[in-house]
């Protein structure tokens, strides 16, 4: 656009007319670019955070799903072994975080749409609603697993539940790491919701 206009100016107009017009045009283009650039900046930041959240959620899922430990001693009848699916809460954690990871990967194209066309409000609204649901799911999984990991570390004398982390130390370490990764994903998702809310306000 600018180029062809500049060419037209060169071709026939008086130099005074072109001088009067150019700054106004330039100012309008500049203003549009500043507003679009601001929205685009938020959208780019959204995409970066989203990719980080994918990494955190995937790390949480994979860490928990591969957690198992076999103790080096065994009796005649059975071997002492701990795996994530011994505890239903950890199974829920793996499923929920896998769903969140899948959603986050699928949401990347929508985030790219928000970069390419900052004026499209539908994609932004869809992202903020689904992000809120993802926050809830990830937090429920993280919170439930945190409660069980705490119990495994400390036990509870009132309910007569003994700590199992003395025996299954490696198992507990990995489960704790997965819980921490899930909370990192939760914090990133909260920032994503806030960015979307601020970006919606600008429209």
**Contact set with its own copies (CB under 8 A):** 82, 86-89, 121, 124-125, 128-129, 132-133, 135-136, 139-148, 150-152, 154, 156, 158-162, 164, 186, 190, 193-194, 196-198, 200-201, 203
Minimum separation from the CB atom of position 180 to its own copies (A): 14
Alpha helix (H) ranges present in the chain? 2-11, 15-65, 88-116, 121-154, 169-202
Shortest distance in whole angstroms from residue 201 CB to its own copies: 6
Q: How far is the CB of 200 from its own copies (least distance, A)?
A: 4
The residue among 22 and 95 lying less far from its own copies, judged by its C-beta, is: 95
Instruction: Collapse the DSSP code of 80 into the 3-class scheme (helix H, G, I; strand E, B; otherwise coil) and give the result.
Output: strand
Q: Are 70 and 80 in contact (CB under 8 A)?
A: yes
| Nearest to its own copies of 47, 165 (CB atom) | 165
Residue 140 DSSP SS3: helix
Closest CA to 124 of 114, 134, 138: 114
| Nearest distance in Å: CB 196, its own copies | 8
């Amino acid at each position: 656009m600018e180029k062809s206009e500049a060419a037209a100016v060169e071709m026939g107009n008086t130099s005074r007319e072109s001088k009067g017009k150019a700054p106004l045009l330039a100012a309008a283009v500049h203003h549009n670019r500043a507003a679009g650039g601001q929205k685009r900046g938020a959208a780019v930041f959204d995409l970066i955070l989203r990719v980080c959240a994918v990494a955190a959620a995937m790390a949480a899922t994979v860490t928990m799903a591969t957690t198992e430990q076999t103790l080096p001693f065994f009796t005649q009848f059975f071997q002492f072994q701990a795996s994530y699916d011994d505890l239903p809460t950890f199974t829920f954690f793996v499923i929920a975080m896998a769903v969140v990871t899948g959603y986050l990967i699928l949401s990347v194209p929508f985030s790219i749409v928000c970069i390419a066309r900052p004026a499209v409000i539908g994609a932004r609204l869809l992202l903020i609603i689904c992000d809120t649901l993802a926050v809830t799911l990830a937090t429920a999984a993280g919170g439930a697993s945190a409660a069980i990991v705490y119990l495994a570390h400390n036990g509870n004398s009132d309910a007569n539940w003994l700590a199992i982390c003395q025996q299954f130390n490696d198992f507990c370490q990995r489960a704790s790491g997965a819980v921490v990764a899930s909370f990192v994903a939760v914090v990133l998702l909260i920032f994503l919701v806030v960015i979307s809310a601020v970006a919606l306000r600008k429209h």
